[in-house]
């Protein structure tokens, strides 16, 4: 019971931290801001998170976990290869789009801080996404060389995340890019004939 109450408090603090970070940016957010947002004293907040960097790191982990869970769910659907790959990569793109939508003024800062404070979490997330993409391609095309297409797809998605001024454009271009890549993938029958 205590653990679930503690977990619930942490989740509330992370929700408050997200609200503050997207409203003010990380540099301008203080622990007092987070405490005020969650309706707790600052000393009470410190019982659950060490500082705002810890709150950011935990928040990043939660966001990565949710995006990865969505990607895994979308990977298991019965659609064709291009649609499954697009759905998996949209989970990654949606994470960035959400930050831009929720905080147009501070999204670049939030994403930049991510590189500094949670680079290991980001790397683990990308590794898990790569593994998921490789698994989907391997299962569909019965190939042992799915790593390169997976890298190209991740690079495409990262590139699309660079300009989110019109949120519809990256999703459209992602679908187009995935379709082009899938059209160029050999199937297992053509590999066997070579």
The domain spans of the chain are 53-193
**Cα distances (Å, whole numbers) of residue 114 to 33, 80, 108, 139, 191:** 20, 33, 10, 33, 41
* 83-139 residue pLDDT tens: 999 999 999 999 999 989 999 888 888 887 666 788 899 999 999 999 999 999 999
Check residues 31 and 187 and name the one with the higher pLDDT.
31
Three-state secondary structure of 103-154: CCCCHHHHHHHHHHHCHHHHHHHHHHHHHHHHHHHHHHHCCCCCHHHHHHHH
Check residues 93 and 194 and name the one with the higher pLDDT.
93
Residue 98 near residue 64, CB atoms below 8 Å: no
Q: Is the pLDDT of residue 36 over 80?
A: yes
Alpha-carbon distance 37 to 19, whole Å? Answer: 8
- Mean pLDDT taken over the chain: 90
Q: Which CATH class is domain 53-193?
A: mainly alpha
Alpha-carbon distance 121 to 58, whole Å? Answer: 10
Q: Is the pLDDT of residue 38 over 60?
A: yes
């Amino acid at each position: 019971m205590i653990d679930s109450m503690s977990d619930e408090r942490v989740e509330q603090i992370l929700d408050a931290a997200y609200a503050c970070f997207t409203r003010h940016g990380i540099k301008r957010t203080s622990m007092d801001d987070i405490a005020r947002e969650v309706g707790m004293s600052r000393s009470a907040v410190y019982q659950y998170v060490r500082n705002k960097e810890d709150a950011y790191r935990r928040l990043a982990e939660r966001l990565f976990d949710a995006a990865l869970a969505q990607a895994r769910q979308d990977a298991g659907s019965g659609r064709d290869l291009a649609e499954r790959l697009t759905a998996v990569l949209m989970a990654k793109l949606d994470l960035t789009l959400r930050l831009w939508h929720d905080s147009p003024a501070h999204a670049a800062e939030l994403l930049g801080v991510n590189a500094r404070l949670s680079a290991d979490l980001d790397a683990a997330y990308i590794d898990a996404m790569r593994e998921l993409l490789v698994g989907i391609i391997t299962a569909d095309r019965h190939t042992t060389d799915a790593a390169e297409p997976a890298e190209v797809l991740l690079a495409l998605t990262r590139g699309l995340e660079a300009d989110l001024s019109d949120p519809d454009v990256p999703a459209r271009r992602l679908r187009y890019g995935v379709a082009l890549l899938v059209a160029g993938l050999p199937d297992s029958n053509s590999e066997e004939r070579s």
